[in-house]
């Protein structure tokens, strides 16, 4: 049969228990070198967290200064690159047709139009 304890018995038992171990018991298991290394890591983590907070603040303030939202700007740039590539392809196709008609190489016709390898 399970034994039921009165609430007064429970509080008596709790007061008789030994106090929890001191937080420094972990330190006694670590060597001085390990403690120094751990403290160094804690300091580095704290510094990195501060740096992260600062960088996040900079990103937020910079994003607020933008005229357009970043995603909209990226989408517009991609559209403009797509349009540019289509126009360039049409231009190269026309220059290729001119080169075929003249019976010369594409490079020669590109040179006539002032298009260099850097373009």
- The rounded distance, in Å, linking the Cα atoms of 22 and 31 is 18
91 inside domain: yes
For residues 73 and 110, state if they share a domain. Answer: yes
Q: Are 63 and 71 in contact (CB under 8 A)?
A: no
pTM value surpassing 0.85: no
Instruction: Look at residue 75 and tell me whether its pLDDT is greater than 80.
Output: yes
For residues 72 and 54, state if they share a domain. Answer: no
For residues 85 and 117, state if they share a domain. Answer: yes
For residues 57 and 74, state if they share a domain. Answer: no
Residue scoring higher pLDDT (69 or 33): 33
- The rounded distance, in Å, linking the Cα atoms of 30 and 24 is 10
19 inside domain: no
pLDDT in tens, 9-59: 444 444 455 554 555 555 568 888 999 999 999 999 999 999 999 999 999
Residue scoring higher pLDDT (9 or 87): 87
- The encoded tokens of residue 98 equal 């001119």
Pick the range with the lowest mean pLDDT from 4-8, 38-42, 92-96, 113-117.
4-8
Containing structural domain, residue 76: 67-119
């Amino acid at each position: 049969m399970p034994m039921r304890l009165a609430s007064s018995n429970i509080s008596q038992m709790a007061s008789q228990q030994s106090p929890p171990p001191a937080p420094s018991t972990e330190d006694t298991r670590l060597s001085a070198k390990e403690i120094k290394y751990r403290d160094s890591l804690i300091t580095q983590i704290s510094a990195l967290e501060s740096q992260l907070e600062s960088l996040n603040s900079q990103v937020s303030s910079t994003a607020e200064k933008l005229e357009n939202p970043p995603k909209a700007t990226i989408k517009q740039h991609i559209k403009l690159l797509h349009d540019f590539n289509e126009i360039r392809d049409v231009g190269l196709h026309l220059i290729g047709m001119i080169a075929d008609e003249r019976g010369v190489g594409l490079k020669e016709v590109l040179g006539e139009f002032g298009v260099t390898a850097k373009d």
